Amino acid sequence: MTFMKSLMGATAAFALSAGAALAEPALIFDLGGKFDKSFNEAAFNGAKRWADETGGSFREIELQSEAQREQALRRFAEAGANPVITMGFAMADPLSAVAADYPDTKFVAVDVTWLDAPNIRQIGFAEHEGSYLVGMLAAMASKSGTVGFVGGMDIPLIRHFGCGYAQGAKAVNPDIKIVANMTGTTPAAWNDPVKGSELTKAQISQGADVIYAAAGGTGVGVLQTAADEGILSIGVDSNQNHLHPGKVLTSMLKRVDVAVYDAMKAGADVETGVFVLGLAEEGVGYALDDNNASLVTDDMKMAADSARQKIIDGELSVVSYYDNDSCPALSF
Amino acid sequence: MDFLTIIQVLDSTVRLATPLLLACLAGLYSERAGIFDIGLEGKMLMAAFFSAAIAATSGSVWLGLLAGIVSSLLLSGLHGLASITFRGNQLISGVAINFLAAGMTVLIAQDWFQQGGRTPSLIGGGRFAPIELPFAEALSGVPILGPIYSELISGHPILVYLAFLAVPATWWILYRTRFGLRLRAVGENPAAVDTAGVSVVGLRYAAVAICGVLCGIAGAYLATALQAGFVKDMTAGRGFIALAALIFAKWRPWHAMWACLLFGFLQAIALRYQNIDVGGFVIPVQAMDALPYILTVVILAGFVGKAIPPRAGGEPYVKER
């Protein structure tokens, strides 16, 4: 009996120490999938950079259905992962249900800023500011005076993107026509490149010659068709300029990778609260590299950079769609 | 809506209806022979992946098409094996095929290309190029008919023409050949066919194989003609809309074409106009997206004639002893 006790005690101690040693971060990708060349891939890249630099390892899961959200959170929390990083606005409800049950676990929620829990680091991005800049670039690059916007699933976040974009385009050319479409109303809208292509063709026939895709995997179809039809496109979240060199005007960067990297680096001591990363924090921006150097002229760059500085200084404010659920420059 | 816009919407309709039509005809052969097939989606997805993968590695879209058809045929064979030879439940076999395809494509793609479950973008000979029909350029100046010919009829990849030619071919095979008669009979009353000394199993396998070939072409069209590569879950429910179209068409080839064109048209309208204003009454885009399903339910409920499936559909054939 005593032997049994000590054995069990030893096992328990071992389990405890194992639990402490295994406090590795966990990353939950949203339905778009880990390699969507966009939002989730940016998170993966940030995590990979952390793993490469520190030699650490992280656990990950790609969600396949809505039902897995809460399950995945609980599994990681119970396995001792810390922090548990989640991607996407849709994790908000499961998080608010789960977070209180695991007070010692830190959660990091990307794209969620409205929860009230002491152990969640909530990271939002000022997508409207970044979109404003690419909207300016689009309007300056457009020769037809019409620019397009293809959103993924019709949710406030995507309208937020579109709204900033429209304001930026209108700032350059008040008479510009903006054609905006959403791919769908279900999560399937993040992965329907065929529909993305058709939307692009429809927008081209309405005169658009620069199209901004904020649509996850659907955006692959938008960029492809834009390149096929000889017009410019704008990528989103990750730098997508390399997908069609010389045909992607720029990409609206959302530095999810930095957010994930920082969270993993801080580990279990990650600071909680609400953080909104804008232009000033370099949380958003537009991509310039060899692939689009010939497309973005010095004038365009100067105009965008001066607007960027003005937004940072507070001289220029971009209206957020969230403020009153409507957009002054675009109706959806 | 001006004339040019109408042409553009119809052009989009043709592009969107083609995969539906191919899948719908595929289902038609299978179901007319008494094998329900809800695995159309999975077969299309598998074919989309293999056609893109082979086209990307070999640089030849024709090899890609062949690979797509073969992969779809293999899944068809699996469905046949489960539901004809082993007399399993056809619906469950179909669901299994859908799951199998959704998982396997991404898994193989990741292992093969390491691009996160997608294939590399196809370039040059790896894609089906649009075909300019003769005189399209010359006739484009002719009013009304010119744009219809040069924009709407000309300028599609060859698979589109193939899909529309498959409609009269299917009608002819089903209603004008001995094989077609037997195929329909085996879906209505397999015992009678068996009594006549014709192999029920053989006929059903033939129907399932034709279904596989057509699904293969549909998948290849998605990945190598409409798009330039495979993306996870790229069929996005088109196999199910094709099934809805099949019911809507009451299992008849010409009607299937019109049903697919109608569903394609609804999609094209929904893509072109986010909200449609009809005399002060706004129809949201979601309603347009849902319309194919609503129409199918209306048909199934018997409001517009009766949709009666082939009588022996879903029943494995057991020879009486």
pLDDT of A189: 85
Contacts 24+ apart (CB under 8 A), A107-111: A107/A73, A107/A83, A108/A83, A108/A84, A108/A259, A108/A260, A108/A263, A108/A270, A110/A43, A110/A85, A110/A86, A110/A256, A110/A259, A110/A260, A111/A87, A111/A157
Which residue did the predictor score with more confidence, B5 or A161?
A161
- Kindly state whether A198 is in contact with chain B, defined as any CB-CB distance less than 8 angstroms: yes
> What are the pLDDT digits (tens) for A297-332?
999 999 999 999 999 999 998 999 988 888 888 877
pLDDT of A38: 79
Q: Per the CB < 8 Å rule, is A181 touching B121? A: no
pLDDT of A2: 57
Q: Per the CB < 8 Å rule, is B268 touching A194? A: no
Let me know if domain B3-300 sits in CATH 2.40.128: no
Domain layout of chain B by residue ranges: 3-300
Residue that has been written with the tokens 């109706």 in this structure: A331
Nearest beta carbon to residue B227 from set A37, A41, A194: A194
Asked if residue A218 has pLDDT above 50, the reply is yes
Nearest beta carbon to residue B117 from set A35, A198, A224: A35
Compute the CA torsion angle B11, B15, B18, B19 (nearest 10 deg).
-160
pLDDT of A19: 44
> What are the pLDDT digits (tens) for A173-183?
999 999 999 98
Residues in chain A: 332
Nearest beta carbon to residue A191 from set B228, B229, B232: B232
The band of A15, judged by pLDDT with boundaries at 50, 70 and 90, is: very low
- Kindly state whether A332 is in contact with chain B, defined as any CB-CB distance less than 8 angstroms: yes
The band of A7, judged by pLDDT with boundaries at 50, 70 and 90, is: low
* A152: closest CA of chain B, how far (Å): 13
Handedness of CA A264, A270, A276, A280 (dihedral sign): negative
For residue A281, the tally of other CB atoms under 10 A from its CB is 15
pLDDT of B292: 76
Q: Per the CB < 8 Å rule, is A185 touching B286? A: yes
For chain B, the C-alpha Rg in angstroms (whole number) is 20
What average pLDDT score do residues B266-274 get?
80
> What are the pLDDT digits (tens) for B177-190?
999 999 999 999 99
Contact A28, A72 (CB under 8 A): yes
Asked if residue A22 has pLDDT above 70, the reply is no
Per-residue 3-state assignment (H helix, E strand, C coil) for B68-128: HHHHHHHHHHHHHHHHHHCCCCHHHHHHHHHHHHHHHHHHHHHHHHCCCCCCCCCCHHHCC
> What are the pLDDT digits (tens) for B216-246?
999 999 999 988 889 888 888 899 989 989 9
Tokens of B162: 């193939």
CATH architecture of A128-252+284-324: 3-Layer(aba) Sandwich (3.40)
Q: Per the CB < 8 Å rule, is B16 touching A198? A: yes
SS3 B171: helix
pLDDT of A6: 57
Asked if residue A21 has pLDDT above 70, the reply is no
The band of A50, judged by pLDDT with boundaries at 50, 70 and 90, is: very high
Q: Per the CB < 8 Å rule, is B116 touching A332? A: no
The band of B275, judged by pLDDT with boundaries at 50, 70 and 90, is: low
Domain(s) of CATH 3.40.50.2300: residues in chain A: 14-126+259-266, 128-252+284-324
Percent of chain B with pLDDT over 90: 57
B45, B231, B285: which to substitute to probe chain A, counting the most A Cβ within 10 Å? B231
Nearest beta carbon to residue A188 from set B236, B271, B272: B236
Amino acid in the structure at residue A19: G
Asked if residue A12 has pLDDT above 70, the reply is no
Query: Where is A151: in which H helix or E strand?
Result: strand A146-153
Among chain A residues, the shortest Cα distance to B233 is held by: A191
Label residue B141 exposed, middle or buried (CB < 10 Å: 0-12, 13-18, 19+).
exposed
Nearest beta carbon to residue B236 from set A33, A35, A191: A191
Tokens of A142: 């457009």
Q: Per the CB < 8 Å rule, is A191 touching B233? A: yes
* A199: closest CA of chain B, how far (Å): 6
> What are the pLDDT digits (tens) for B8-62?
889 999 999 999 999 999 999 999 999 999 999 999 999 999 999 999 999 999 9
Closest CA to B6 of B281, B240, B272, B208: B272
Amino acid in the structure at residue B80: G
Tokens of A70: 């809460």
Residues of chain A neighbouring B5 (CB-CB closer than 8 A): 205
pLDDT of A17: 43
> What is the CATH code for A14-126+259-266?
3.40.50.2300
The average confidence (pLDDT) of chain A is: 88
* B13: closest CA of chain A, how far (Å): 10
The pairing of strands A107-110 and A84-87 is: parallel
pLDDT of A20: 45
Tokens of B64: 């890609």
Asked if residue A217 has pLDDT above 90, the reply is no
Q: Per the CB < 8 Å rule, is B231 touching A181? A: no
Encode burial over B215-239: b for 16+ CB neighbours within 10 A, e otherwise: bbbbbbbbbbbbbbbbbbbbbbebb
* B271: closest CA of chain A, how far (Å): 6
Asked if residue A209 has pLDDT above 80, the reply is yes
pLDDT of A16: 46
Q: Per the CB < 8 Å rule, is A37 touching B116? A: yes
The average confidence (pLDDT) of chain B is: 89
pLDDT of A8: 55
pLDDT of B142: 80
